[in-house]
Amino acid sequence: MTATTDGSTGALPPRAPSASDATAEKTEATHSTRTAVRQDTADAARRATARATDYLLSVQDPAGWWKGDLETNVTMDAEDLLLRQFLGIQDPELTEAAARYIRGEQRTDGTWATFYGGPGELSTTIEAYVALRLAGDAPDAPHMATASAWIREQGGVAAARVFTRIWLALFGWWKWDDLPELPPELIYFPKWFPLGIYAFGCWARQTIVPLTIVSAKRPVRPAPFALDELHTDPRDPNPPRPLAPATSWDGVFQRLDKALHVYHKVALRKLRGAAMRSATRWIIERQENDGCWGGIQPPAVYSIIALHLLGYDLDHPVLRTGLASLDRFAVWREDGPPGAARGSAPTRMIEACQSPVWDTCLATIALADAGLPADHPQLVKAVDWMLAEQIDRPGDWSVKRPQLPSGGWAFEFENDNYPDIDDTAEVVLALRRVKHPDPQRVDAAVSRAVRWNFGMQSKNGAWGAFDVDNTSPFPNRLPFCDFGEVIDPPSADVTAHVVEMLADVGRTHDPRTRRGIAWLLAEQEPSGAWFGRWGTNYVYGTGSVLPALAAAGIPGSHPAVRRAVGWLERVQNEDGGWGEDQRSYRDKEKWAGRGASTASQTAWALMALLAAGERDGAAVRRGVRWLIDTQREDGSWDEPYFTGTGFPWDFSINYHLYRQVFPLTALGRYVNGGPACAPVGS
């Protein structure tokens, strides 16, 4: 009680609420609302993480590995049919199943694209059209007439890439004289020579060597029909291409190609024969145990053609196992393509490659980060499988590093010649997340892998995918090389994965690791993003680099990190997700960080933001909510868009497991914390 002004006592009258009181109440209410929203998002994220974990565990192979379909474009399917036509091993059932798949991929304008939602692509459309002709589709059928009309509008066969015209030359639909020359004598160029076979990336090298034999032999099989409808002027189907100025690099290489055409006519028979025998040995020595070459389809196709031209019959063990390996690239869908009515006729899609090692290490990381016990039997089984896949013999990488012991992992089931640095880094990260009953065995495998990755560092401090210092500018200048990237320079995404792995094994302060970090910081784009070589594109590069920098101790306050966070926040879509179209490789200003939201790209952005300490930010909450809201009832996500990269722009990939492993990783790190992340609510 207090005294009143008249001397009496009593309670003070109620005080009128002030503006500061209202602000405080509003702030408290806002804080309570935000806390409730965060808690609701966190609870929903936990449920989504549990569903996604169950789904991913359910699709593991009993042997311990994971593998999603690797979808590219219909040139794989078309060239498979052309190969079978060339070898005379057509199968009506197989041909029709492949044709159904190719027809199902045709767009309403009559074209075929190289990625979902992309523009029609000339060479792809030509190859798809020819494949359907081989399958019996009439040229005057509406879908065929529309395609051929579009092809003519784009310049016809004469405007197609070299690889397409090589396939047509095999049947006399194009002249070998009008193709760039590839002499087999290339096999004798010194290993250091800037145009020798080891100046090319491993994927190009494996393709070029057999094609030198094909180029020397210039075979022509009788064509089953004419293709006049694909030329702008059937009377002049092979118009000459204009020469670039002699003072330009393009002009120099065009004139070199003309000289090689002259050499083709006067080449010494003994020298050419010896070169082809050397190339043959090179090809056979690199055949894998399962019959394939490098675990990828294109080198296998051209190696089979080359060896067959040299007299190897189809029953020869080399060709028999090679052809059998191609069958393992086929994905049969008994009820037609996804979305087709039940009872539809089967389709057959050809994978350009298969990705079990990559998928398995990413799935293991995702499940561990999602909170699955480190000694869970399925994780242990995955580790057992990965340990058995470590490569213990030298491959082509040892040309540059002859004294370096092996210890890497490849991407595929069978590819001992070409382990890759990216897979090796991610496998180590996966192995170290699992509590294996034989830790000494794991430690030994990790030690070999770390030594190999250190040894594969390029002189600029960064890492490429397969080779060291594979940076010669000349291979890309060759008239032959118009089909995509043919060299393997260091990239931000691979370097980031290696840095993250080295930090994880306690090698952050090693001078070689610090050089990699310095290279990454120097490679940041003015926008704040990093270029993504093996995933699309700036979202992938940035999503790879920020977790690596955080693992290496770069604080979230670092200017490079803040610039990257700002870029990710600016490109977030209205719906809360992130997406980036393949066209960002061609038009950075318009498409970098722009595209329909996808599960994998949203996850990459979240992984970057979480590593940067942005867990409580609005961008993270909206991104997590997008993943929660788009998850299907079975715990999976749908993703028709292509978010993987083979060659920037030229060869795009839809890894069907990306839509599962990366969202689970992001949600797991949001809920439980993870590398450089604190758990939600901390």
> Distance between CA 319 and CA 565 in Å, rounded?
52
Q: Which residue has the tokens 């059928």?
A: 141
Answer yes or no: 422 catalytic: yes
Closest-CA residue to 627 (of 660, 593, 599): 599
Q: Which residue has the tokens 């060659």?
A: 647
8 Å CB contact between 679 and 369: no
Other Cβ atoms less than 10 A from the Cβ of 394: the count is 15
> Distance between CA 503 and CA 556 in Å, rounded?
16
Exposed, middle or buried: residue 159 (CB in 10 Å: 0-12, 13-18, 19+)? middle
8 Å CB contact between 654 and 641: yes
| 256, 450, 519, 676 from 513: Cα distances, Å | 42, 11, 10, 17
> Distance between CA 21 and CA 513 in Å, rounded?
54
Exposed, middle or buried: residue 151 (CB in 10 Å: 0-12, 13-18, 19+)? buried
Other Cβ atoms less than 10 A from the Cβ of 102: the count is 25
Structure tokens that stand for 503 in this block: 């930090």
The residue from 422, 504, 581, 650 that is catalytic is: 422
> Distance between CA 435 and CA 640 in Å, rounded?
35
Quick check: helix, strand or coil at residue 426? helix
Backbone angles phi, psi at 332, to 5 degrees: -95, 130
User: Rg of the chain's alpha carbons, rounded to an integer?
Assistant: 28
> Distance between CA 379 and CA 462 in Å, rounded?
31
Angle at 37 between CA 611 and CA 366, to 5 degrees: 35
Question: DSSP letter at 535?
Answer: B
> Distance between CA 314 and CA 325 in Å, rounded?
13
8 Å CB contact between 115 and 147: no
Strand ranges for 253-354 from DSSP E: 330-333, 347-350
8 Å CB contact between 101 and 349: yes
Q: Encode burial over 646-668: b for 16+ CB neighbours within 10 A, e otherwise.
A: bbbbbbbbbbbbbbbbbbbbbbb
Long-range contacts of 473-478 (CB under 8 A, 24+ apart): 474/194, 474/195, 474/199, 475/195, 475/199, 475/200, 475/204, 477/249, 477/250, 477/252, 477/253, 478/180, 478/195, 478/253, 478/257
DSSP per position, 173-201 = SS-GGGS----GGGGGS-TTSTTSGGGS-
- Catalytic (active-site) positions: 422
